[in-house]
Structure 1
């Protein structure tokens, strides 16, 4: 079993990083996936690399607003300056009469302002929020490719119903059963059931099995005694693997 390099101080397993980056192909990828099934420490390293690399997608550079934007906004809000009013001539006999009339008008307006009740303060009514429709859950698919000769098994998972459909599997003979496993973030294989040898296989998953079927989780097929693994973990060879992705 591979030791955890974060505890022993050893160099990290390069194969874990290469598997997380998708650099392995063919037999090298099959060997690494078999290690994921058999070595929890190696599976944890792969998951840590995936989480570390996923954080890089959140790093985006900030973009400053163009210069002069705030000045243009302030100018648009304030508007053009109002020209000063034209001053009336205060000479001649017309000015005293206009001054007296202006005083009477100002006094009348002051009385109206004092005795008129203050207008009610308008209460802002919050806009009615429209319900936001939830985005439909996207289907997950995986091509479970055999490590040797044989036809791949295609898996389609519907997160809404929990239905998992697989095409026909010809990986097992009459003396053995093909058992399907999922390896999620915990790095531990969990059985999903036995595959039929003809006509495809349908599962309806519930509970924690649904939570384990997510993007990046590995589906694997092992050959077990007739009726399935007696231990709850793979006992026979892992003959096919594939990772779940969205469509």
Structure 2
């Protein structure tokens, strides 16, 4: 855990993401990096835990009436004509912590330490809408996923540990409650291009699920084996 604040952190992007300070393309780049780089994901989680401990030790309290005006008067000196700041800094600190917790639902994971080769992330592009993330509950460690509607691309950070003669298949379950296959997962990270027919089903609130199927995938078009992981998509 970073404790020496006299020296710059190795990667300030991790701290900024943990505090919810990144927006737009910068946040999208950081989320993609979190899925592709286990070390970066662990650093984000380390910062999140560090900030959470600080807020536990010093919870936000309501400032006494007139306190900010007295501080401003002291800083500005006698006779200052500056308008006193009424910025609710304790509330902003709490809000930043809450936002960081929402964004980091996908980093409450312990990524597979096996080395995985990823292609460099593409340059930021103009997006037509929000991105979707989900953390799929799995018995060993949650599995993070990231969906970019503007490209129709879905990345799943890992795959369940299953027998060699079986395969993990990813499904989306929308409001109709019917599972629709999105494709088969590899043993490590998987990038899928979603067909147009399924893109509308990938929306906030829809559930991603992983089932264990025979080699080649489900022969029926519906899950035939046990569902070992699932989680709802959230817009960020």
| TM band (smaller chain) | 0.3 to 0.5
Bigger Rg, structure 1 or 2: 1
Structure 2 length-normalised TM: 0.45
